[in-house]
Structure 1
Amino acid sequence: MYGVNLTSLFRYKKKRESCNEGSSESVKMGYSPHNKVFSEAQEKELSKYLIRCADIYFGLPKKEVKKLAYELTKSYNLARPRSWDENEIAGEDWFLGFMARNPELSVRAAQATSLSRATSFNRTNVEAFFDNLQTVMDRHKFEPQDIYNVDETGVTTVQKPDRIVARRGIKQVGSVTSAERGTLVTLAFAVNAIGNVFPPFFVFPRARFQDHFLRDGPIGSTGTANPSGWMQDSGFLQFLNHFKKYANSSKSHRVLLILDNHSSHIHIDCLDYCKNNGIVLLSFPPHCSHKLQPLDRSCLGPFKKAINSSCDSWMRNNPAKTMRIYDIPGIVATAMPIAFTCRNIQAGFQATGIYPFNRNIFTDLDFTPSFVTDRPNPNDTHKSNPVSIEIPDPNQTSISIGTQTSVTKSQVSCLNIESIGAVNSSAMDQSSTPPKNSGDAVTTDQSVTPPMTLHPVVDPCQPSTSYSTVFSPELTRPFPIAPPRKLPAGGWRKKKSTIYTDTPEKEEIRKESEKENQKKQARNVKKNLSKKNKGKGKKSKQTKELTSSEDESDNCICLVCTESFEKSKPGENWVQCSECKMWAHEACTPGYLNYLCHNCDSD
């Protein structure tokens, strides 16, 4: 009548008869896994741990997950297959079954994120930015058409080819590019909150700018040139003139320009120009543009993809020709309408909470990558207050240990468990006598606390009469925690979100600029005196290394003053950036032991 198999019905009847008449347990049918290592509750805890690791940008790959499973079975004395002990790793069949039983997990390709971006985007920096944004919005009552965002991006003459259709099974598929190493052209874009985009501003890697560089570029675009091809102080000043022309800003009609902390943006000449022409400058916190900048959130990604597609089309239409930097404006004119749409621009402002203004746009999940360096500031640490430690036990016991120990919940596993048990034992012995000082107090939620000693058990999920540990992968493999903060070295000022056109901030930058100029002049005078004493024609060790290759000396240009190496004075030292490996005059740098240029030190 119901389509039940006769053999299954017979087995069910036999189990019912074999059960005791007074038993209230229901009869279970079907197949049960005979070799299951973890219980359902334990696998859920392991799943939560893996998700948390991925949220803080320290996710575990497949091999590490299998190693962690083996370590958990050893820590909690769980029955496991013999092959796990032989290989010291969980089996492939267990991993496939674990992923199938936990559909909330999936193997994903992680996007590379720098440590600076992962840790700088925290609630403190974001709240400081929104406080400044709210201040300027309340002060000037900006409308959406007066809120702008500017950012630079680079386009090279060597594109990343699109995916193509090819023969199945072939190991290597190729696609033609212009060259092996391309030449970079910098573009600066400005958009506002209603979805408008200004014509781009080009920075060509040439000594002098010529009008024919932009013969095929977007209508209304302009540009400049410098030997490095990066945005410099003078180039950004020209961009501000270009921006003022289209934004129609003045002291009677102020506009808000939101940008990052690149050194060319906060030069004193640029700040004076903005102050005199009604442009209010607000900066993002350092290394937070991947979340807070509208152009990064919605426009520049589609723009790079459209550029690659346009470059592929150009290569097909111009076979056996090499792409030059003068062809890039025409490619940009083709790609811009695809990426800089009204919907994309408005979505970028909305996703960052800039307009409509929403300071609660980011949730706790967005701030989880900063968990690793979420440490107290050494200036704000009060060593006189005891710090309570949360221990995962059934009675929710809270303990305070010492006066100079700062331990978080995620660092409990790093403590010596026997020492914690000793503290609990002493607390039980001294429960009848009150402590004399609050700093020496050992407080508990109960009057008598049993000594805490973590013993591995066969099944941590089963209750027992004695104390047993709760199954927690975090105790076996704790989350990564950075060491305590160190105070910055003298003379180094950390950047933050700032309204640069306000008088106090602008005058502070002016004083720093004057001090830096005085230091450079003093170094130049000292070098001139040493040059006269030592004689002409003598070169330093660094200069000799530069002159070892003729091609290298021809292409070497100072990143700061853009002066070529051929024009350098005798005895003038050069230093190399530790990241991009480009060179600059030692007199043009701050003089730190490890030089990092202003291009690599920004977003």
Structure 2
Amino acid sequence: MRTYKRKTTRCSYTTEDLKNAVKAVNDEGKSVNAAAKKFGIKRMTLTRFLKKLNEGGDSSMGYTTPRQIFSPTQEDSLKKYLLQMASIFYGYSPKDVRRLAYECAAKFDIKIPPSWTANKMAGKEWLSMFLKRNPELSIRKPKPTSHASHPKSLNAQNVKVFFEKLAEAMDRYGFTAADIWNIDETGVSTVMKPNKIVAAKGKRNVGAMTSGERGTNVTVVTAVSALGNNVPPMFVFPRKQFKTHFLNGGPPECIGAGNASGCVTDEEFYHFMQHFIKHVKPSIERPVLLVLDNHSSHLNVKTLSLAKEKGVVMLSFPPHCSHKLQPLDVSVFGPFKKYCAAAKDAWLRNNPGKTLTIYDIPKIVADSLPFALTKINIVYGFQKTGIFPYNAHIFGEEEYSPSFVTDRSEPETIESEKDPVSSTEPYPTLCVSTSQVEPEAGPSIKKNETIDLRVFSPEIVRPYPKAGPREATKTNRRKRKAAILIDSPEKNALEE
């Protein structure tokens, strides 16, 4: 029976108990009855075991696993393969796993039931028992991940360049926890995702009141330090003309701005940089480090000039790596969104029949942001990202697994190569992508490697996916990477 559970401890002795009993009979001269009583074994069981050993049989006992297609070693190899495929974001569906099992059995001449051959896949029963024998595996619903963003950018080389730049800045200026800051923005919508509620069991449609079908976003910009301090936020409203009454009920000393989109542009970020300098009070004699992403509004020459003049050292993250490297993304904005949803829910209950508008957002943020901007959350974010305390090895190999598929060297450009010394291109090193290094060795089979079919390996049947060679480009388009933005080479190149 598949789900049978033992109801008694009868006959629960091990092979070791039987061997000790046999040793007592053969070496110590005890009778079968005495040895059986001493070790708690049935007399007839010990008699059969003695006879089996004396006739030259093996010492195995108990039930075997009849009709199991793959051996434990083969199933372990299959399990590791499935885990690796999931870690690089190319996991298999249950039906694909069943097809893979059939293909592996056919490739390695393993005896299979006729139904596998007829359907070209393993049965549902096999998959169910395979998952039960390997509790590390389960059927999960994956989160959609864009091919153009996180997987290819979060690789060991990009992260290494960032930490090298971070170490350079810390060694040059001697920054402490109070001097290291992070700036980022997030959107707060007038329409929230409803929280779970208690309703009738089995009812198919359960609703919750919201302010509308589609919400309007207000951007909130804030800054935090590795010591746990924070700067009052700035609100960017989707209005061309900003009015001070938009901020009624907002956090103390907050500021606001407005534009047609409600997103942060060069002008709004320059305004927030002035706000940041006013509260942090950096200087040339006592500079501060500001880590931030590579958003275009952060690369404005006017803002970089202000930062350099006031003693703000700006260090950018590699593109599409802020979900792992940015402290605000790691430990603050997640809790903030949850507290924000609870505050919106409370507002709707306290104002029945009314619609939540963008002018109510500052009050919502004032009620929820302090719960997320706690010292514990902020300090943990800097620790988790390895920024402070400095830890260049904060991420393990599993963090870089999704980039395995696209990790490959860059091709030469179609244009004739220019001497970097004599070239008229200003600061050509900025054109070098951090992915131009040779890719690290991955789990896939190397070219011209001899395949031993005697060793069971699902990778032989379905090799790990690997992107083809990069196509040669016609232009030397600059690719952003981690950089100290106020350094003269970087700043001059941006001005150019």
TM tier relative to shorter chain: 0.7 to 0.9
Question: Greater CA deviation, 184-193 or 52-61?
Answer: 52-61
* Structure 1 contact 410–478 (Cα < 8 Å) conserved: no
1:41 matched to 2:43? The reply is: no
Structure 1 residues 169 and 482: alpha-carbon distance in aligned structure 2, compared to 1, 3 A threshold: same
1:493 matched to 2:496? The reply is: no
- 1:361-391 CA-to-partner distances (Å, cap 9, x unmatched) read 11112111111112234359xxxxxxxxxxx
TM-score by length of structure 2 reads 0.83
* Structure 1 contact 71–476 (Cα < 8 Å) conserved: yes
* Structure 1 contact 150–257 (Cα < 8 Å) conserved: yes
Give the aligned partner of residue 331 of structure 1: 364
Q: Secondary structure at the match of 1:185?
A: strand
Paired-residue identity, %: 45
Which of 289, 302, 311 in structure 2 is aligned with 1:256? 289
Distance in 1 between residues matched to 2:352 and 2:43, nearest whole Å: 77
The AA in structure 2 aligned to 1:291 is K
Which of 143, 147, 150 in structure 1 is aligned with 2:180? 147
- 1:118-167 CA-to-partner distances (Å, cap 9, x unmatched) read 11111111111011111111111112111100011111111111111111
* Structure 1 contact 148–257 (Cα < 8 Å) conserved: yes
Deviation at 1:241, TM superposition (A): 0.7
* Structure 2 contact 108–453 (Cα < 8 Å) conserved: no
Give RMSD over aligned pairs: 2.4
Structure 1 residues 54 and 409: alpha-carbon distance in aligned structure 2, compared to 1, 3 A threshold: closer
The AA in structure 1 aligned to 2:71 is S
Question: Greater CA deviation, 272-281 or 95-104?
Answer: 95-104
Which of 302, 306, 312 in structure 2 is aligned with 1:279? 312
Give the aligned partner of residue 270 of structure 1: 303
1:28 matched to 2:89? The reply is: no
The AA in structure 1 aligned to 2:381 is G
Q: Secondary structure at the match of 1:200?
A: strand
Instruction: Please list, as runs of the form range in 1=range in 2, the aligned pairs for 1:446-525 lying within 5 A after superposition.
Output: 468-511=453-496
* Structure 1 contact 157–324 (Cα < 8 Å) conserved: yes
Which of 348, 366, 376 in structure 2 is aligned with 1:315? 348
Q: Secondary structure at the match of 2:445?
A: helix
The AA in structure 2 aligned to 1:95 is L
Give the aligned partner of residue 214 of structure 1: 247
The AA in structure 1 aligned to 2:297 is S
1:347 matched to 2:392? The reply is: no
Which of 56, 70, 79 in structure 1 is aligned with 2:111? 79
Deviation at 1:491, TM superposition (A): 4.6
The AA in structure 2 aligned to 1:65 is V
Distance in 1 between residues matched to 2:400 and 2:244, nearest whole Å: 46
Give the aligned partner of residue 96 of structure 2: 64
Q: Which has the higher contact order (CA 8 A, sep 6+)?
A: 2
The AA in structure 2 aligned to 1:344 is N
Distance in 1 between residues matched to 2:346 and 2:457, nearest whole Å: 55
1:157 matched to 2:190? The reply is: yes
Structure 1 residues 242 and 20: alpha-carbon distance in aligned structure 2, compared to 1, 3 A threshold: closer
* Structure 2 contact 332–378 (Cα < 8 Å) conserved: yes
Distance in 2 between residues matched to 1:130 and 1:4, nearest whole Å: 61
Q: Secondary structure at the match of 1:265?
A: helix
Equivalent residue pairs, number: 435
* Structure 2 contact 108–454 (Cα < 8 Å) conserved: no
Instruction: Please list, as runs of the form range in 1=range in 2, the aligned pairs for 1:169-184 lying within 5 A after superposition.
Output: 169-184=202-217
Q: Secondary structure at the match of 2:299?
A: coil
Give the aligned partner of residue 108 of structure 1: 140
The AA in structure 2 aligned to 1:42 is Q
* Structure 1 contact 298–348 (Cα < 8 Å) conserved: yes
Question: Greater CA deviation, 314-323 or 8-17?
Answer: 8-17
* Structure 1 contact 413–474 (Cα < 8 Å) conserved: no
Q: Secondary structure at the match of 1:111?
A: coil
Structure 2 alignment gaps of length 5 or more: 1-8, 13-35, 414-438
Deviation at 1:469, TM superposition (A): 2.2
Structure 1 residues 249 and 73: alpha-carbon distance in aligned structure 2, compared to 1, 3 A threshold: same
The AA in structure 1 aligned to 2:491 is K
Distance in 2 between residues matched to 1:44 and 1:112, nearest whole Å: 28
Which of 193, 218, 224 in structure 1 is aligned with 2:226? 193
* Structure 1 contact 413–475 (Cα < 8 Å) conserved: no
Distance in 2 between residues matched to 1:291 and 1:84, nearest whole Å: 43
* Structure 1 contact 311–331 (Cα < 8 Å) conserved: yes
Distance in 1 between residues matched to 2:64 and 2:493, nearest whole Å: 72
Distance in 1 between residues matched to 2:453 and 2:243, nearest whole Å: 78
Structure 1 residues 17 and 251: alpha-carbon distance in aligned structure 2, compared to 1, 3 A threshold: closer
* Structure 1 contact 413–478 (Cα < 8 Å) conserved: no
Deviation at 1:409, TM superposition (A): 6.9
Structure 1 alignment gaps of length 5 or more: 381-405, 421-451, 455-466, 512-603
- 1:517-564 CA-to-partner distances (Å, cap 9, x unmatched) read xxxxxxxxxxxxxxxxxxxxxxxxxxxxxxxxxxxxxxxxxxxxxxxx
Distance in 2 between residues matched to 1:249 and 1:408, nearest whole Å: 45
Distance in 2 between residues matched to 1:496 and 1:413, nearest whole Å: 30
Instruction: Please list, as runs of the form range in 1=range in 2, the aligned pairs for 1:353-392 lying within 5 A after superposition.
Output: 353-379=386-412
TM-score by length of structure 1 reads 0.68
Q: Secondary structure at the match of 1:129?
A: helix
Q: Secondary structure at the match of 2:297?
A: coil
Q: Secondary structure at the match of 1:258?
A: strand
* Structure 1 contact 413–476 (Cα < 8 Å) conserved: no
Distance in 2 between residues matched to 1:247 and 1:499, nearest whole Å: 20
Give the aligned partner of residue 293 of structure 1: 326
The AA in structure 2 aligned to 1:268 is V
Deviation at 1:46, TM superposition (A): 0.6
Distance in 2 between residues matched to 1:259 and 1:137, nearest whole Å: 16
1:50 matched to 2:82? The reply is: yes
Deviation at 1:14, TM superposition (A): 7.2
Distance in 2 between residues matched to 1:164 and 1:11, nearest whole Å: 62
1:136 matched to 2:169? The reply is: yes
1:302 matched to 2:348? The reply is: no
Distance in 2 between residues matched to 1:150 and 1:250, nearest whole Å: 18
* Structure 2 contact 235–256 (Cα < 8 Å) conserved: yes
Structure 1 residues 486 and 104: alpha-carbon distance in aligned structure 2, compared to 1, 3 A threshold: same
Distance in 1 between residues matched to 2:442 and 2:178, nearest whole Å: 47
Q: Secondary structure at the match of 1:201?
A: strand
Distance in 1 between residues matched to 2:53 and 2:375, nearest whole Å: 73
1:231 matched to 2:264? The reply is: yes
Structure 1 residues 143 and 60: alpha-carbon distance in aligned structure 2, compared to 1, 3 A threshold: same
Deviation at 1:112, TM superposition (A): 3.2
